[in-house]
Amino acid sequence: MSTLTLLAPGDEFKPPGLELFDAAPIISGVAWFTKPVLLALLSSVIVIGFCWSAFGNPKLVPRGVQNVGEMGYMFVRDQVARPFLGKDADRWMGLLLSMFFLVWVWNLMGVIPVLQFPVASHIAFPIVLALSVYVLKIYLGVKHQGVIGYFKNMMFPPGLPKPIYVLLAPIELLSNMIIAPFTHAVRLFANMFAGHIILAFFSLVGFWFLFEKLTPLGAPLGVVGVVMTIAMTGFEMFIQFLQAFLFAMLAAMYIGNSLHADH
Amino acid sequence: MAMGILAEVTGSLGSIGYGLAAIGPGIGVGIIFGQGVQAIARQPEAYGLIRQNMLLGFVLTEALALIGLVAPFMFGQ
Amino acid sequence: MPAMSEKKIRPEDDGRDFANAAWSIPSYLLSGMILYGGAGWLLSEWTGVVAFTPIGLILGVALSVYLVYRKYGR
């Protein structure tokens, strides 16, 4: 409802903008406790509860929730962990699985009817996850390759003519140390941010032209808006799954690159 | 100077420009990976060669998209 | 790099390399542009010659493309 009440009371259609993301404190006086924070806490509880009921008391023949959980586990293991981590895959499954589920539930908050706010569209949330992967990446790289070896493998890939290293080593350093984790967080953030704006825009078009200002000329446009909202919601759900998958995949890629020196 | 203004666009012109500039590389990246996957499906034994050319084409196309991203900063004002 | 390409025998290694390359290419290009474009911008602020910024940007793109080409393209 918040998207609809934000409308300026005028005659002109006003597309939704950044004010969609201004979250007011739920309890007045507690400035940090806003809707995204509440949803993030709720997502954590959902993921913990789901994993607990699925894997807490495993049966040999899986039934019910355990079945669903094992489907997710198999997906993450075969599509995310094994291609990038190889024989180390099972050690990292705990991290990757919980990261995948958490990001997915965060994103799904954007289409669940009453909640309707993708947590990751506030960039602070993806940044925390990306930063923890970044710290883990550097820690593992230094642990497995040594401080000198890690930076040498990173900045001086073999097989280039000697003088050009002066120009290319800074690019490698900047790319691996700053731009890669930055894009890791921003990719998730930007997709959820844009998706939320798109959904809000089309649903507002439908609401405005069918309910607020119903005119013979505007009504078809409103119908188009409603149809597009439905189509885009389906598309958004696909994107949300894809982004959660990509986030976990990139995390596995960074971890794998730190574990094995030959890249 | 004698010409009158026929049409005017106001607002954030840089973002409109980048939106237009991203169309071409978007189509290009789609074509590169689409045709690349098709080529691999047709001739899996040429995977190495196809992969290398796919990456090369992707780099050159992506460079265009990123040049579009910085063009508003270069020709701002 | 004949030694490197000989080492890749298992197909899943190839797939990992490909995903690796495809996902790091944008960040390489972006960092090359930021680094050398930024250097060119600083130079143009210092000397007053505006042309240094586009020259730096193009140089950065060219260097990143060359880096990616040498690292993944062969």
* pLDDT attached to residue B77: 52
Cross-chain residue pair A175–C15, CB shorter than 8 Å: no
Of the candidate ranges A8-17, A222-231, C20-29, C61-70, the one whose mean pLDDT is the lowest: A8-17
Mean pLDDT of C27-41: 92
Q: Is the CB of C69 less than 8 angstroms away from the CB of B51?
A: no
In chain C, the residue whose alpha carbon lies closest to the alpha carbon of B45 is: C11
Instruction: Please list every residue in chain A whose beta carbon sits closer than 8 Å to the beta carbon of residue C30.
Output: 175, 179, 183
Residue A25: per-residue pLDDT = 83
Q: Which residues of C touch B66 (CB under 8 A)?
A: 26, 29-30, 33, 61
- Is C38's Cβ below 8 Å from some Cβ in A? no
What is the model's pLDDT at position C74? 66
Cα separation, A77 vs A83, in Å, equals: 9
B40 CA: distance to closest CA in chain C (Å): 12
Q: How does pLDDT run along chain A (263 residues), one tens digit per residue?
A: 444 444 444 567 777 888 888 888 888 778 888 889 999 999 999 999 999 998 888 888 888 888 899 999 999 999 899 888 888 889 999 999 999 999 999 999 989 988 889 999 999 999 999 999 999 999 999 999 888 988 888 888 877 788 888 889 999 999 999 999 999 999 999 999 999 999 999 999 998 888 888 888 888 889 999 999 999 999 999 999 999 999 999 999 999 988 886 54
Query: Mean pLDDT across the stretch C2-14?
Result: 48
C15 touches A at CB < 8 Å: yes
Model pLDDT, residue A3: 44
In a domain, A13, yes or no: no
The residue in chain B having the minimum alpha-carbon distance to the alpha carbon of residue C9 is: B48
Q: What pLDDT is stored for residue C12 in this prediction? A: 53
- Contact C64/B at CB under 8 A: yes
CATH for B67:
1.20.20.10
Tokens of A216: 């013979």
Nearest-angstrom CA–CA distance, A85 and A154:
18
- Chain A partners within 8 Å of C38 (Cβ): none
The pLDDT, as a whole number, for residue B8 is 77
Task: Dig out the tokens for A90 from the structure.
Answer: 């099972």
What's the CA gap between A21 and A3, in Å, rounded? 10
Three-state DSSP state, A146: coil
Q: How many CB atoms lie within 10 A of CB A195?
A: 24
Measured between beta carbons, which residues in chain A are less than 8 angstroms from residue C7?
262
**Residue A232 touches chain C, beta carbons under 8 Å:** no
Q: Return the biggest CA–CA distance within chain B.
A: 65
Contact status of C67 with chain A (Cβ, < 8 Å): yes
Q: What six digits make up the tokens of A64?
A: 């019910």
Write the DSSP string, A149-172. Answer: HHHHHHH--SSS-GGGHHHHHHHH
Of A27-36, B4-13, C60-69, highest mean pLDDT: C60-69
Residue A248: which domain range? 2-8+22-259
Count of structural domains within chain B:
1
Q: Which long-range contacts (CB under 8 A, 24 or more apart) does B49-53 make?
A: B51/C14, B51/C18, B52/C72, B52/C73, B52/C74
Q: Residues of C16-42 as b/e, b for ≥16 C-beta within 10 angstroms?
A: bbbbbbbbbbbbbbbbbbbbbbebbbe
pLDDT of residue B3: 64
What's the pLDDT band for C31 if we cut at 50, 70, 90? very high
C33 and chain B in contact, CB less than 8 A: yes
Interface-testing mutation among B29, B59, B62, with chain C (most C C-beta atoms within 10 A): B59
What is the distance between the alpha carbons of residues A166 and A154, in angstroms, rounded to a whole number? 14
* Within a domain: A15: no
Residue B76's pLDDT band (boundaries 50, 70, 90)?
low
Instruction: Give the ipTM.
Output: 0.79
Structurally, chain A folds into a number of domains equal to 1
Tell me, yes or no, whether A188 lies in a domain.
yes
- Does B35 reside within a domain? yes
Helices (H), ranges, chain C? 2-7, 11-47, 52-72
Q: Could you tell me which of A156, A176, A174 has the C-alpha nearest to residue A166?
A: A156
Count of B–C CB contacts within 8 Å?
A: 49
The three-state secondary structure class of A12 is coil
* Mean pLDDT, chain C, integer: 80
Residue A17 belongs to some domain of the structure: no
Quote the tokens at residue B3.
């010409």
Residue B43 pLDDT greater than 50, yes or no: yes
For B37, the domain range is 22-74
According to the model, what pLDDT value does residue A254 have? 92
Q: Quick check: is A184 in a domain?
A: yes
